[in-house]
Amino acid sequence: MLTVNKHLPAARGLAPALVKRAATVSLDWDTRSKSRFDAHDSAGRHIAVFLPRGSVLRGGDVLVAEDGSLIRVEAAPQAVLQVRTCAAHGTPIDLLRAAYHLGNRHVQLEVQPDLLQFEPDPVLRDMLRRLHLIVTEAHAPFEPEAGAYGEGGGHRHDHAHDHKHAHGHDHAH
């Protein structure tokens, strides 16, 4: 069994050619949200993952094994519900309203420009259909938002958030 205890978010710092050649491990959201689990990679190796508590893996992250080998994480397709607005009877704000209601229930939610996606729940499916939204079952990769205190949401960026005043004097905030 190969032990893994290092995680590189978004393969940060690695050459693309190295990442492309790496073995892969396809994991559903439930597994990627755990800090300790066993899996098999695409090279057939049994891996034991031991990451710091609270670690969350995203598709595109890279794990580093104890022997120095790299393993690229893929978000495995899984059962999800997809929510879209109804072009015939709805408005674009309907999707925002759905995101509000799902967030109010603390649902793990993936947000895309024209789609919300979450793990199947028949009660929530029926609620959203009553709001005249189109809810369909699908089998797709699931990358929910990290939340306000997470790792920056479902996207990553490396730019600074520098909030300096442009008018030359300091303010006490």
Domains and CATH numbers, the chain: 2-75 (2.60.260.20), 77-141 (3.30.70.790)
What confidence tier does 153 reach under pLDDT thresholds 50, 70, 90? very low
For residue 121, give the 3-state DSSP assignment: coil
CB-CB contact of 49 with 40 (8 Å): no
Residue 123 has a pLDDT of 97
Closest listed residue to residue 13, CA positions, set 65, 70, 56, 57: 70
**152 pLDDT higher than 50:** no
H runs (alpha helix) in the chain = 16-21, 29-32, 93-104, 122-130
Residue 169 has a pLDDT of 40
**15 pLDDT higher than 60:** yes
Q: 93-104, pLDDT tens digit by residue?
A: 999 999 999 999
Token pair 């789609």 is at which residue?
A: 115
How far apart CA 58 and CA 74 sit, in angstroms, is: 7
How far apart CA 35 and CA 57 sit, in angstroms, is: 9
Please state the rounded mean pLDDT for residues 122-140: 96
**42 pLDDT higher than 60:** yes
CB-CB contact of 23 with 41 (8 Å): yes
Please state the rounded mean pLDDT for residues 17-45: 97
How many other CB atoms are found less than 10 A from the CB of residue 45?
Answer: 16
What confidence tier does 149 reach under pLDDT thresholds 50, 70, 90? low
Residue 50 has a pLDDT of 97
Residue 59 tokens read as 């598709």
What confidence tier does 165 reach under pLDDT thresholds 50, 70, 90? very low
Please state the rounded mean pLDDT for residues 106-111: 95
Cα 127–chain centre separation: 24
What confidence tier does 33 reach under pLDDT thresholds 50, 70, 90? very high
